[in-house]
A and B are shown apart, each in its own frame.
Chain A
Amino acid sequence: MRDLLAISDLSRGEIEQICERAASFAAVGQREIKKVPTLRGRTIVTLFYESSTRTSASFELAAKRLSADVISIKAQGSSVDKGESLKDTVATLTAYDPEAIVIRSPEAGAAQLVAGWTDASVVNAGDGKHEHPSQALLDTYTLLDRLGPLDGKQIWVVGDIAHSRVARSCVRAFGLMGAEVTVAGPPTLIPRGFGEALGCEVRYDLDEIGSADVIYALRMQLERMSESYVPSLREYAAAYQIGPRRLGSRQLLMHPGPVNRGVELAPEVIDGPASLITAQVRNGLLVRMAILYEILAGTDRPRPVRSIDGGGDAARDSEDSPTIGEPA
């Protein structure tokens, strides 16, 4: 695997491979020294155009656990603030010869564009409302860890589907792993054609949520009210909040965070025994280590030589790099 841009690029086998790799890193986290030398001497840039806590922190920590050198750039306070274009920023960063660029952007397709402009591997850490593949992978890992194979499992994704990159990546990933996925939410927040496009069921109420093995609640963004997607938070909560009444004893609860307590989830269930929310965060680190490992050290496929602006020499230092198999 050269880049991780979208779940839609992956096969079930590739998802399983990343999850197996993540499992192998679980043991590392138990040791006193939590670092492995795998990516020593490699440089990873994280470039975040949107605020993020867990994704940016866990990618950074994952890179450090693998002994890579990390540069973390946030839009605020960087040259982006001064109006530099994405293309120019990427060209600048590429000049430092990073092995990977992890990018979060408010625009769909940003990671894919970046992949065309740099010879570094690119990891999509969320692009607009399009995809958030590392989130879906960590969620898949969390479910495999807890439930075993997902074939035939019923998974309901509930909430603001329209504005959720998590929903798009998770529906695809869970489907690839054999689960039967249903999305549920207000009709105003489920795009026309979503079920057909992503191969899932669409429901506008939670009447049959009792059949779900897993309930995955999405964050309800408060600004949706002003855009009249939903009339009020109270009405939303009444119809779609997951609380003790809606969560059966054998059902598991997930949420990508950050949670609006009392909106999409009742406070009691967040910390309840069914909740996998903390496990998701913990596994996020393992899965992001696995992603960086698979991209930078885990493949036997030759690395295609790409150069930007036709000027750069794409051949680079590669004595100890298992990922560069192509002569200059």
Chain B
Amino acid sequence: MSGAITDLDWRGHPGSLVISGARAFDSRAGLDERRDIVIREGRIAELAPVGEGKAPEGAERIDAEGLLATPAFFDPHVHLRHIGQSHKEDVETGTRSAAAGGYCGVIAMANTAPPTDEPEVIAAMREQAADQAAVPTGFVATVTVGMRGEELTEMAALREAGAVGFSDDGLPLRSAQVFRRALQYQHLVGGNILLHEEDPNLSAGGVMGEGEVSAELGMAGVPDVSESTMISRDAALCLYEGARAHVQHLSGRRSVEAIEFAKQQGSPITAEVTPHHLVLTDEAVRSLDARFKMNPPLRTEDDRQALIDALRSGTIDCIGTDHAPHASHEKEIPFEQAMMGVTGLETAFSVIYTDLIEPGVLGLDTILEGLTSGAALFDLEVPSLQPDAEANVTLIDLEAEWEAGAEGWESRSANSCFAGRRLRSRPVTTIVAGSVAYRQRAYRMGAVA
């Protein structure tokens, strides 16, 4: 049973549009040709020959000549800091950042301050999203009360209130027994469980990936087995209970191997990778710049290659940014003291395009599938350009060149590990259910038909 992405809360409303002359690209539908995309009341009505798409009464016609039109992206993993940390981000700025990155929907994590562990809080957040969110936003609740890893939250009541799933992201579920109970409860309440995998004993004190670079810099490393051993444990529990879970942000080869093995065994587990783990390694930490500090940490070139191969082969199911805003005073301090996490929504596509697609490492189809398939984790329709699909479309200028962060960010925070980099390609317009959620300033405007 799939729902529409706009079943999630947002401030917009379905609309009608014609996108004229773009190269319509949807690899799942085998589509790659210039078309007029006609959108009526939030759904794709027709893919007409160029110049022949008839705009519904009063609808805007967007001249998209020279642009790529793709299913809009869906991010299963962002931190909107929506409770207690509005100096970093909030629902409004975070979703604006998502829209600017080409995203038609995001799932906000529950490690707020205090953690999102009560049905009333989910209800209040949904109301806030309905009022402020630039794109549809779903909220997960924590798996355990206060993220303490001990007692389960009221999962049924939280689902009733609209939580799309459960996650203690930011922290692992230390207790296998607690995780097992949550999986058992899933048979009653549904909803996915998102896992931040890390053995807290093995990772204790670590601030970067363990390896030659950490040895050289004298900083405590987090070994890759801290992640992979927990994945193996949890995948086995998923298989045993016949219940699903999703492993967030894989960082190493051993984690990829653990997922691969689990899937071969038939474990109903899925996995995600971030753009920064796909394009950066621990060599970046030599700069001692805390913008390269995140959890899980950047690892070696061999690990990066394993992640790329796993995305290509389908072992990794989707790309999530783990957009994690922090204020400058939380990052412009020595590396070991700085907060973990980087922003990512506004650079995700461009960074991957620049470093992986244009050089021919990964195909546009693989990446666009990875950037959209996160919706399926929450039983939502995966964005598509096929007639009758909800009209979630991103227009991308593949020729664009820009410097990340030079014009500022939509996000309230600037802790991007790509700031200052010259990037190729840029999402210029994001359409959610036929309504423009983001339009790059100075982008040429179409006439209303």
> Residues of A with Cβ closer than 8 Å to B?
8, 85-87, 105, 107-110, 112-113, 127-131, 163-165, 168, 191-194, 196-198
- Other-chain residue from A107, A193, A197 in contact with B335 (beta carbon distance below 8 A): A107
* Known contacts A108-B218, A168-B218, A191-B221; A197/B334 CB under 8 A: no
* Known contacts A108-B334, A113-B334, A192-B210; A128/B215 CB under 8 A: no
A197 and B213 form a contact (CB under 8 A): yes
A162 to chain B, nearest CB (A): 8
Which residues of chain B are near A107, meaning CB under 8 Å? 333-337
Which residues of chain A are near B211, meaning CB under 8 Å? 192-193
User: B441 in the interface, Cβ–Cβ < 8 Å?
Assistant: no
18 contacts between A and B (CB under 8 A): A8-B216, A85-B333, A86-B334, A87-B332, A108-B335, A109-B334, A112-B288, A113-B334, A127-B334, A129-B218, A130-B218, A130-B219, A163-B218, A168-B216, A192-B215, A193-B210, A197-B213, A198-B216
Size bracket, chain B contacts? 20 to 34
> Residues of B with Cβ closer than 8 Å to A?
210-219, 221, 223, 288, 329, 332-337
Which residues of chain B are near A198, meaning CB under 8 Å? 215-216
- Other-chain residue from A105, A127, A194 in contact with B215 (beta carbon distance below 8 A): A194
Residue among A108, A164, A168 facing the most chain B CB atoms (10 A cut-off) = A108
Residue of A nearest to B211 (CB): A193
Which residues of chain A are near B210, meaning CB under 8 Å? 191-193
* Known contacts A168-B216, A191-B221; A108/B288 CB under 8 A: yes
Which residues of chain B are near A163, meaning CB under 8 Å? 218
Which residues of chain B are near A191, meaning CB under 8 Å? 210, 214-215, 221
For the complex with contacts A87-B332, A109-B335, A197-B212, 4 further pairs of A-B residues with Cβ separation under 8 Å are A112-B288, A131-B218, A165-B218, A168-B216
Docked complex Cα distance between A86 and B338 (Å) = 12
Docked complex Cα distance between A112 and B335 (Å) = 11
Residue among A163, A193, A198 facing the most chain B CB atoms (10 A cut-off) = A193
B333 and A87 form a contact (CB under 8 A): yes
B293 to chain A, nearest CB (A): 11
* Known contacts A192-B211, A197-B213; A128/B218 CB under 8 A: yes
* Known contacts A197-B216, A198-B215; A108/B221 CB under 8 A: no
A324 to chain B, nearest CB (A): 27
Which residues of chain B are near A128, meaning CB under 8 Å? 218-219, 334, 336
Residue among A105, A109, A113 facing the most chain B CB atoms (10 A cut-off) = A109
The total of Cβ contacts below 8 Å across the A-B interface reads: 73
Residue of B nearest to A129 (CB): B218
Docked complex Cα distance between A127 and B336 (Å) = 11
B212 and A110 form a contact (CB under 8 A): no
- Other-chain residue from A87, A109, A164, A197 in contact with B288 (beta carbon distance below 8 A): A109
B212 to chain A, nearest CB (A): 4
Residue of A nearest to B210 (CB): A192
Residue of A nearest to B329 (CB): A85
- Other-chain residue from B217, B221, B334 in contact with A105 (beta carbon distance below 8 A): B334
Docked complex Cα distance between A310 and B221 (Å) = 35
Residue of B nearest to A130 (CB): B218
A113 and B288 form a contact (CB under 8 A): yes
Docked complex Cα distance between A130 and B215 (Å) = 9
Residue of B nearest to A86 (CB): B333
Docked complex Cα distance between A113 and B336 (Å) = 12
B333 and A108 form a contact (CB under 8 A): no
* Known contacts A85-B329, A192-B211, A196-B212; A110/B334 CB under 8 A: yes
Docked complex Cα distance between A87 and B288 (Å) = 15
Which residues of chain B are near A197, meaning CB under 8 Å? 212-213, 215-216
A133 to chain B, nearest CB (A): 13
B234 to chain A, nearest CB (A): 25
Which residues of chain A are near B212, meaning CB under 8 Å? 193-194, 196-197
Which residues of chain A are near B216, meaning CB under 8 Å? 8, 168, 194, 197-198
Docked complex Cα distance between A127 and B212 (Å) = 18
Docked complex Cα distance between A125 and B208 (Å) = 23
Which residues of chain A are near B223, meaning CB under 8 Å? 192
B209 to chain A, nearest CB (A): 11
Docked complex Cα distance between A142 and B219 (Å) = 28
A198 to chain B, nearest CB (A): 6
Residue among B210, B288, B333 facing the most chain A CB atoms (10 A cut-off) = B288
Which residues of chain B are near A164, meaning CB under 8 Å? 218
Residue of A nearest to B214 (CB): A191
Residue among B212, B223, B334 facing the most chain A CB atoms (10 A cut-off) = B334
Docked complex Cα distance between A110 and B218 (Å) = 13
Residue of A nearest to B332 (CB): A87
Docked complex Cα distance between A163 and B213 (Å) = 15
Docked complex Cα distance between A146 and B210 (Å) = 38
* Known contacts A113-B288, A192-B211, A196-B212; A108/B332 CB under 8 A: no
Docked complex Cα distance between A165 and B336 (Å) = 15
Residue among B211, B218, B335 facing the most chain A CB atoms (10 A cut-off) = B218
Docked complex Cα distance between A130 and B285 (Å) = 13
Which residues of chain A are near B334, meaning CB under 8 Å? 86, 105, 107-110, 113, 127-128
A111 to chain B, nearest CB (A): 9
B329 and A108 form a contact (CB under 8 A): no
Docked complex Cα distance between A327 and B205 (Å) = 47
- Other-chain residue from A87, A130, A196 in contact with B217 (beta carbon distance below 8 A): A130
Which residues of chain B are near A165, meaning CB under 8 Å? 218
B258 to chain A, nearest CB (A): 20
Residue of A nearest to B204 (CB): A227
Residue of A nearest to B218 (CB): A129
Residue among B211, B216, B219 facing the most chain A CB atoms (10 A cut-off) = B216
Which residues of chain B are near A193, meaning CB under 8 Å? 210-212, 214-215
Which residues of chain B are near A109, meaning CB under 8 Å? 217, 288, 334-336
Docked complex Cα distance between A198 and B213 (Å) = 10
Residue among A8, A131, A197 facing the most chain B CB atoms (10 A cut-off) = A197
